[in-house]
Structure 1
Amino acid sequence: MYMPRFQRKECFKRVLQDRKKSITFVPEIRIPIQLINKKTSNQNNKKIINIKTLNKKMMSTTNNPTQLFLQEGYAFRRNVLSGKIEYCELHNEVTNNVAANNDGAGNVALVFRPFTQEDLNSVIMAAQEAMPTKARLHQELKTIIYSRSTPEYDPVREWLQGLPAWDGKNHVGALLDRLPGLRSEQRYWMSVWLRSMVAHWLQADQLHGNEVVPTFIGDQGCGKSTFCRLLLPEPLREYFLDHVNLGNKNDKEMALTNNLLVNIDELDQVRRSKQAELKQLLSKSRVNGRPIYGRVQADRSRYASFVATTNNHHPLHDPTGSRRFLCIELPSGQRINNEMPIDYEQLYAQILAEYNAGERYWFTEEETRALQRANAPFQSTIDLERIVQNCFRLPADDEPCKPVPMTSIVEIVARQYPFVEPTHSTKVQLGLALSACGFRMERDNRLHYYYAIPRDAA
């Protein structure tokens, strides 16, 4: 039946008024969309809203009935880590549970969850019931929800901002005490890395990524992967990724932008052809490209830091990239203590206090060289063969060649690769690599000589 425009307008007003009368809202919890991003609890996906304070601000400035409908019934936010819209149904999550969630001070916990296609359909159905005569309601709802009026929500920043003051105790030391056999310099490097992880969560350095990767080397089942996962508190653990596909561009980029901590499980299994891609991934500070299903190129921040685990005691395949790894070898037969609870609030309160006090969260050049030297025993023998081939060549059949003692070979290698130290272990491994590359060896008074011509020789 045809209805004149002025009659449709009056009818719609009456429907909206009847709708407002029929809904049993608690007045204090009519929360406008733009006011949701306030005080945060430390519980996962929860917001603490003071309903008495917000009651004074509940009247919206908009006259758009669709916006009014959304503001009265729902709260939306855009998660900057996942890139997804999250929402809460106010009349379900608050009104029906106000007694259970109210802490007595007028604060109500709102539980947010990802906004799916099914949720959008439910919102559309509810809106159609409230405004049956409104045209293009479906598109208008999507336009409002997926617009810039939906506030951004940074879960890690808000969790950190909700931490108590540091109590002055060494909670970082207590965390590292769980790792058996940890040396003093490794404890220091780990404390720098933890500060770097938090600093990059806060986007303190957008020119450099957190390149250093703590790499836990030990027996299968000693608790390496569990320890890595436990580095994140429960409210942030959904942003832990235990695998990354180095062969897929979108997977690599999402690992950087959508996660806080990424574990490269079984580091030694990363193929040699993917080593360059891994180095590039670790050094990236931002991602600039078209997101999956996106239509335009976007510039996105990196949040992720990396850890790695392996059972192989020689997992490093690229001597030039060893500065990026902080190898921690766990004594054979010993396990990481993952049983005792971690006081996450005080642990991260300490890290945050150190960062705010200006303590360094990056490695100096000297510390980087020390990392390389410490990583020398973890280089694979195959890579030592590459080092040997870069430093020496085989003599031609009729070319005169003076045999080079092992001590001189180590000195020549160390000039090009400063992390190589003249230890007995290094000499043994270099000897194996020289033999594998075809260099002839002879002994004289227990000294080893090799027929090799240095490539940098005049």
Structure 2
Amino acid sequence: MINDQKITISTGPSRRSVYWYPQEMLWSEFVAQLATPKVTPESFAIYKSMRKNQQDDLKDVGGFVGGRLRENRRKSDKVLDRCLITLDADNIPAGGTGAVLQAVSSLGCAYVIYSTRKHEEAAPRLRIVIPLDKPCAAEEYEPIARKISSYLDMSILDQTTFDVCRLMYWPSVSVDMGSQYVYTYADNPFLSGAGILSMYEDWHSVAEWPEIPGAIKVREQRAKRQGDPLEKKGVVGAFCRIYDVPAAMDQFLPGTYAPTDIPGRYTFTDGSTVGGAILYDGGKFIYSHHATDPISGLLCNAFDLVRLHKFSDMDDGAKEGTPAAAMPSFTAMKELCVEDPQVKALVLQEKHAEAAKDFAGIELQARGNTTEWLVKLKTNKDGVALKTIDNALIIMENDPGLSGRFYHDEFANRATVVARLPWEVSEDGPYRSRGWNDSDDAGLRHYLEKMYELTGQQKILDAMALYAKKHRRNPIKEYLAPLVWDGIQRIETLLIDYFGAADTPYTRAVLKKALVAAVARIWRPGTKFDNMPILTGPQGIGKSTFFKKLGGAWFSDSLRTFEGKEACELLQGYWIIEVGELEGFNKSEMGTIKQFLSKQDDIYRAPYGRRTEALPRGCVFFGTTNEDDFLRDRTGNRRFWPVNVDSENATKSVFTDLTPDEVDQIWAEAGILYTQGEKLYLENKEAEGAKEAQEAHKNVDPRESMILDFISKPLPSDWMRRDLQARRVFWAQGMKQEGLEERIPRDRICAAEVWCECFNNDLKYLTQRDTRDINGILMGLKVCKKFKTPTRFGAPYKQQRGFEVCL
């Protein structure tokens, strides 16, 4: 070959090769290498019937790039230079092979032409390779290739043929197509790249470059196939809705492109050509002709523009056929997107709006700037909120369907709902506040999952606890604090005015102490107050109504047990608690009530707590009864303050005169008394009145008089030495047979003695209950005082726990 010189190409064994290594050879050697195609065993008919990926694998016998590559990477921005022009003539009409060969020959320069794997006479496909006299720079390659192609019929060329890093396969044919393999070359002078470039007025201007007919239309069609980027879902669509191509250039690629005087055209500033980046569809897409541009030869939306510029190197090791959405660069770009406040906010807003369709009636705009709070959420690369406590808390603080709609009631120690929640059914009229319940727990989890894809029961509960700690309110404090007393004293005469109670220091003190205690337990929960005023009188005079009006929303008459967790639960959220029908409680239950009243704390586990805690008591108890003898504890009833009431002597009506304004003034006065340091216990005449009232309402055991009479009788001086039989004879004879013996007052008594001698029962039938009952009666007698240690009670009983008798 006369016209011959060394060329350097880059070769790889497969299209999937990551690295392409330089190979130096003579042009003549290169031409010779194309002369004999590799033959594979399948027929051409079978080859054409295969799927595209199978065809691609068969024709992939290795290939070359007509120049050198930086870092041995086959990418547009890695091309150092080109020594070969390579053209894909894939659109030759049937029978047009000869015409193409003649047109290339007329160029007068060296070339080699060979057919592709799919070539047949009915659909010719050729590869045209033209050597350059000197290697050209990457930026010079496309204008040279386009200009020389313009002397051919450019319509036969593939739209992507001018890609500077384009791969050309080495030739191969099916077993029955060897005779149709096209191979020809011309030993002419090499093409002068400089000479071709000189044909332009300014080869740097992409606007002068020849275009393949229909190229613009092809790109527009390609854009349509890609779909409107503004209509894409998720992060990609959100990014493109926030940033069109020019905006993305300014925000993420500053200085990378410069606008030209021609609207819609930009210059890639790291290249040597100008105006090669062209906008399409109003800035939704960009196509770059710049050889060294990372998006060279690609039609990109704003998302892909930034992705390829910033992260395309990450895709070098990706397997062929990997979907774009699975590329490392795609993942990195999504992460960049969700770090952008505007994109992140839009993604979350759109997810929020879509999910909100399942929760009719929710206002999507919060009271502030929705974007501002949404960007506080930590998200993954898809813009989905991470399943964290912090995110759940941010949502509760800001979501318009949740924020301000519930709070932690510090008094009731539970969440209280004050506005309709997203999962509630809408009802007419103003919303009535209510306690948070189990269905709300489920509703909140469903709402967070649906609206934010946030799940995790424990994390949601933790966030709820933190929210509750931050949003604490005490509604009774909010009620009491603004009350202003008008200076008219009411509390001391409440029982006198509304129930006709006797006007005594005790009567005046009872409600004053109790109501001030109620106020004290709001401002200082757990304040010591272990007494319970009790109104005793006929039905229908308004005893329960009185306390219900005083307590309002914080009144309860549901307390029916004074033991265990249930009792503590029944107190929560209530301030004024009526204990009704006291006559129905037996002696043991009255003892339990006394113990319950003395507590200053209740051991209880909050609804969304995981541990029990001691909750300072915030309520006060009031009793009501229709009976007189309801105090059954003989050991003392100091905690109970009974007051006899009867509406016949009342001057005011509970039903008409005790208005809400009047109740406000009662509590306002109680608040003043509290700040003045009102004592919460009875003194002097008040205390004496309490004892008299307690004694008057004491339930008397009919056996009490029998026992008192029994222990009041004098005994023989030898009483301690007598056995039980002798003692019973003494009692049976009525003390007459020994009338001359010396008699002495009794100085001791025990339950066994009463059981056997007073009640004439057998000692072996004495039970623990009987013992307690008798001891209770003895303890209630003023003449009896309990011994601190067991004492001897004579031959029948030996040592017993008993009482000293002081007659």
1:130 matched residue in structure 2: 451
The residue matched to 1:326 in structure 2 has which SS? strand
User: Equivalences for 1:308-457 in 2 at 5 Å?
Assistant: 308-331=623-646, 337-340=653-656, 341-342=658-659, 343-364=662-683, 367-382=686-701, 385=704, 392=711, 395=715, 396=727, 397=730, 401=743, 455-457=804-806
1:72 matched residue in structure 2: 399
Deviations 1:348-398 (A, max 9, x none): 111101111222233337643441123222112218818965993665526
The residue matched to 1:299 in structure 2 has which SS? strand
Equivalent pairs, count = 368
Q: Is the 8 A contact 2:414 2:606 kept in 1?
A: no
The residue matched to 2:399 in structure 1 has which SS? helix
Matched, 1:193 2:514: yes
Q: 1:313 to 1:90 in 2, by over 3 A?
A: closer
Q: Is the 8 A contact 1:86 1:112 kept in 2?
A: yes
Question: 1:128, 1:294 → 2: CA distance?
Answer: 22
User: Out of 411, 416, 425, which is 1:81 matched to?
Assistant: 411
Give the TM-score normalised by structure 2. Answer: 0.40
Deviations 1:396-427 (A, max 9, x none): 526865799xxxxxxx955769xxxxxxxxxx
User: Equivalences for 1:207-226 in 2 at 5 Å?
Assistant: 208=528, 210-226=529-545
Q: 1:289 to 1:319 in 2, by over 3 A?
A: same
Q: Is the 8 A contact 1:16 1:130 kept in 2?
A: no
User: Equivalences for 1:112-261 in 2 at 5 Å?
Assistant: 112-132=433-453, 136=455, 139-147=458-466, 149-163=469-483, 165-173=484-492, 175-176=494-495, 177-185=497-505, 186-203=507-524, 206=527, 208=528, 210-232=529-551, 234-237=552-555, 240-246=556-562, 248-261=563-576
Q: CA deviation at 1:140?
A: 3.7
Question: 1:318, 1:61 → 2: CA distance?
Answer: 66
Q: Is the 8 A contact 1:155 1:236 kept in 2?
A: no
The residue matched to 1:142 in structure 2 has which SS? helix
The residue matched to 1:190 in structure 2 has which SS? helix
Deviations 1:62-120 (A, max 9, x none): 5455444322322332223333222355898xxx99xx99xxxxxxxx96432333334
Question: 1:369, 1:201 → 2: CA distance?
Answer: 29
Q: 1:114 to 1:61 in 2, by over 3 A?
A: farther
Structure 1: which 5+ residue stretches go unaligned? 33-57, 102-109, 405-411, 418-453
Structure with larger Rg? 2
Q: 1:332 to 1:383 in 2, by over 3 A?
A: farther
Q: CA deviation at 1:174?
A: 6.1
Q: 1:388 to 1:328 in 2, by over 3 A?
A: farther
User: Equivalences for 1:255-270 in 2 at 5 Å?
Assistant: 255-270=570-585
2:599 matched residue in structure 1: 284
- Say which structure, 1 or 2, has more relative contact order (CA 8 Å, 6+ apart): 1
Question: 2:702, 2:531 → 1: CA distance?
Answer: 20
Question: 1:375, 1:182 → 2: CA distance?
Answer: 15
User: Equivalences for 1:6-25 in 2 at 5 Å?
Assistant: 6=332, 9=335, 10=337, 13=344, 14-18=346-350
Give the TM-score normalised by structure 1. Answer: 0.66
Larger CA deviation: 298-307 vs 120-129: 120-129
Deviations 1:4-57 (A, max 9, x none): 755665478242143678985666x3499xxxxxxxxxxxxxxxxxxxxxxxxx
Amino acid at match of 1:181: A
1:272 matched residue in structure 2: 587
Question: 2:447, 2:499 → 1: CA distance?
Answer: 54
Structure 2: which 5+ residue stretches go unaligned? 1-322, 355-361, 379-390, 716-726, 736-740, 747-779, 786-802
2:615 matched residue in structure 1: 300
Q: Is the 8 A contact 1:260 1:303 kept in 2?
A: yes
Q: CA deviation at 1:168?
A: 0.6
Q: Is the 8 A contact 1:30 1:72 kept in 2?
A: no
Q: 1:316 to 1:363 in 2, by over 3 A?
A: same
Q: CA deviation at 1:179?
A: 1.2
Q: Is the 8 A contact 1:323 1:368 kept in 2?
A: no
Percent of aligned pairs sharing the same letter:
19
Question: 1:455, 1:346 → 2: CA distance?
Answer: 53
Q: Is the 8 A contact 1:286 1:301 kept in 2?
A: yes
Q: 1:292 to 1:269 in 2, by over 3 A?
A: farther
Question: 1:30, 1:223 → 2: CA distance?
Answer: 50
The residue matched to 1:374 in structure 2 has which SS? helix
Q: CA deviation at 1:284?
A: 0.9
Q: CA deviation at 1:230?
A: 2.2
The residue matched to 1:16 in structure 2 has which SS? helix
Q: 1:257 to 1:118 in 2, by over 3 A?
A: closer
Q: CA deviation at 1:281?
A: 0.5
The residue matched to 2:636 in structure 1 has which SS? helix
Q: 1:275 to 1:114 in 2, by over 3 A?
A: closer
Question: 1:370, 1:338 → 2: CA distance?
Answer: 25
Question: 2:784, 2:608 → 1: CA distance?
Answer: 46
Q: Is the 8 A contact 1:216 1:327 kept in 2?
A: yes
Question: 2:471, 2:698 → 1: CA distance?
Answer: 48
